[in-house]
Amino acid sequence: MSRFNAPFEIHVHGQVVLRADVTYSHLQEVLKPLWQYAGGKNLSDAARSCYEEEPGIQMDGNEHLLQMCWTVAGDEDFRQTLDEVCMNLNEVAMAGAAIEITFYDTEFDEEDAQPGEESRDDFVIVFVGPDPAAIMQVQRDILVQDMTNLMERHFDGAELGGVVAEIDKLFSQRFDDLVNSLEIGKPPRGTGGSSSGHGGRKPRHLH
- Please give the average per-residue pLDDT across 34-51, as a whole number: 95
pLDDT score of 136: 86
CB 17 within 8 A of CB 129: no
pLDDT score of 183: 62
| Residue 190 pLDDT class (50, 70, 90 cuts) | very low
d(CA 60, CA 62): 6
Q: CATH for 8-130?
A: 3.60.90
Predicted confidence (pLDDT) at residue 115 exceeds the cutoff of 60:
yes
CB 10 within 8 A of CB 49: no
User: Of the ranges 28-42, 100-114, 116-130, which one carries the lowest mean pLDDT score?
Assistant: 100-114
What is the layout of strands, in order, in the sheet containing 122-128?
Answer: 56-60, 65-74, 8-17, 97-105, 122-128
d(CA 200, CA 179): 7
pLDDT score of 141: 86
Please give the share of the chain, as a percent, with pLDDT higher than 90.
53
Per-residue pLDDT reduced to its tens digit, 49-97: 999 999 999 999 899 999 999 999 999 999 999 999 999 999 999 999 9
Each domain of the chain, given as residue ranges in start order, spans 8-130, 135-183
